[in-house]
Amino acid sequence: MASEQTPSDARCELKPIAEFRSMYTEKNGTPRQSGICPEALGCFTIHKDVFNNPEHSLEGIADFSHLWLIFLFHKNNNSYTKAKVAPPRLNGVRVGLFSTRSPYRPNPIGLSLVKIERIEGSCVHVSGADLLDGTPIIDIKPYIGDYDAPSTAATTDQSTSSTHRTAAWVSCPPIESLSLNFTPEAERQTEQLSAENQLRFIDSADLRRAIVNILSADPRSAYRRKRCSDRLYFFKVDCVHVTCWFNGNVAQVLRVKMLEDSDQTDE
Amino acid sequence: MASEQTPSDARCELKPIAEFRSMYTEKNGTPRQSGICPEALGCFTIHKDVFNNPEHSLEGIADFSHLWLIFLFHKNNNSYTKAKVAPPRLNGVRVGLFSTRSPYRPNPIGLSLVKIERIEGSCVHVSGADLLDGTPIIDIKPYIGDYDAPSTAATTDQSTSSTHRTAAWVSCPPIESLSLNFTPEAERQTEQLSAENQLRFIDSADLRRAIVNILSADPRSAYRRKRCSDRLYFFKVDCVHVTCWFNGNVAQVLRVKMLEDSDQTDE
């Protein structure tokens, strides 16, 4: 890109360097941010057409515990973006797009911090990702606390952190918090699936915790929360299909079952 | 982007949303990471062709203390990238590209954490950036500690942090650390410039600290460090030109002077 170009002309074409393999295959139930579900396992393999020896580009990466994944929100199909958006936590109130991590951005770029679990050749296994299966990754950087965490002097506001300040609606959203329970049947189903050990990504023992983490963060959109209180909520974790019911502020897990082959297709 | 595309085909064209105005106009002396020089001030204005009302996209952003800037390394003019690179701190030793924050990446994307100083309409003033003047910004996200800092259990290694692990060469590079001094003449020049209060970006009182921060991080490349020990090192801070000499492990500031008009052009 020539430095003389005006910024509006300085377009840049990006080419994915890897595709993320995730236990999340659809928007419903996928964590909204990285780290929310530490049990979420996934992996990516550096494409062979990026480097002749992709594994060379990962040398030394095991010396770090965490990585940034910079990726494309490839499932967005809206062709324009709005200057203000309604984050789910604000329950319909709109704020400036750049005050949020909304996926609907002028450039559909996402940023996630993940933990490295293990490296096999040019394949990196990670946990805590909030990426859908098939997400194109455009860059990977090591997490370095000295540069990637605020280190300025304490602020004087009411924030819990002494080094940075976050909008109050992020940490204390104006929506009531959810309590969560499993019906006895769903509890039994979860235990049985955990015992059967047939999951593809996560350790079966973590299944219940993964379901709890996903629901505790209230995965519904504001629209869904307000307008669809009569509808059941479905999501998939790994190869398990979960049915639940939001009754006011109670999320109740009704059914936990293995996906049939016919359920595996994306909607 | 259709989800059916193979990842290598799923190219995405990005359009800058803002251009960064920085006190750094050339590679020499520009901090290698954000946060290294908290005195580094800069700003960006959301382009009018991104949103009809660019200031709307920033509503609520003042509720956060820090922002991520995702930007393009627009001054890179190499057309290919290597799987292994030699980070300056490793003094010539090569590691995998993705273990580093090198600007020479398959997709020339940079990530910097900056502190918000103030917002004026669609213009955001920030500090701590490591961006060159004119850098195209492609996305802005609020920093949210819950998602953007590792929160996993303590690791057992020798790292100083209890929550994450960083390659030893990042925090304890195998190069000797620099000591720093100003010649009496340079000291006097710095004091005089600070008193004159003619800087464009930074508070004049911060001038000395900015110079010290830049030099303390050793801004030389490994090549420069090894092969050019007989050459003076020049850099600009704001509208000040700094000359220094690296004598072994001592960085000595020889001259600090205001830029002439004729110096203002980029080389």
Contact B45, B112 (CB under 8 A): no
- What does the pLDDT read at residue A117? 93
Instruction: Compute the nearest-CA separation of B214 from chain A (Å).
Output: 15
B133 touches A: beta carbon within 8 Å: no
Coil/strand/helix, residue B260: coil
CA gyration radius, chain A = 20
Name the band, by pLDDT with cuts 50, 70 and 90, for residue B10: low
Highest averaged pLDDT of the listed ranges B43-52, B150-159, B195-204, B255-264: B43-52
Among chain A residues, the shortest Cα distance to B8 is held by: A16
Residue B164 has pLDDT above 60, yes or no: yes
Pairwise CA distance, residues A48 & A15, whole Å: 13
Structure ipTM over 0.85, yes or no? no
Residue A8 · residue B18 · CB < 8 Å: no
Taken in order of first residue, the domains within chain A and their CATH numbers are 14-146 (2.40.30.70), 172-263 (3.30.2310.20)
Q: Report whether pLDDT(A123) > 90.
A: yes
Q: Is residue A174 exposed (0-12), middle (13-18) or buried (19+ Cβ within 10 Å)?
A: exposed
For residue B188, what pLDDT band results from cuts at 50, 70 and 90?
very high
B156 burial via Cβ count (<10 Å: 0-12, 13-18, 19+): exposed
Spatial CA neighbour of B267 closest among A258, A3, A67, A181:
A3
**Distance, C-alpha B121 to centroid of its chain:** 25
Interface of B with A in 178-237 (CB under 8 A): none
Query: Which among A83, A136, A171 is the nearest to B7, CB-wise?
Result: A136
Of the residues B80, B147, B213, B265, the best mutation for testing chain A's interface (the one with the most A CB atoms within 10 Å of its CB) is: B147
Residue A51's Cβ-count burial label (10 Å; 0-12, 13-18, 19+) is: buried
Chain B positions in Cβ-Cβ contact with residue A109 (cut-off 8 Å): 14, 70, 138-139
Distances (CA, A) of B209 to A17, B11, B40, B216: 40, 43, 10, 10
The proportion of chain B whose per-residue pLDDT surpasses 70, expressed as a percent, equals: 87
Contact at CB, B147 and A57, closer than 8 angstroms: no
For residues A136 and A47, the answer to whether their CB atoms sit within 8 Å is no
The answer to whether residue A140 neighbours chain B at the CB level (below 8 Å) is yes
Query: Any idea which of A191-195, A223-227, A256-260, A263-267 has the lowest mean pLDDT?
Result: A263-267
pLDDT score for A5: 40
| Interchain CB contact of B148 with A (< 8 Å) | yes
Phi, psi of B4 (to 5 degrees): -80, -15
Examine the pLDDT at A41 and tell me if it is beyond 70: yes
pLDDT for the residue numbered B156: 38
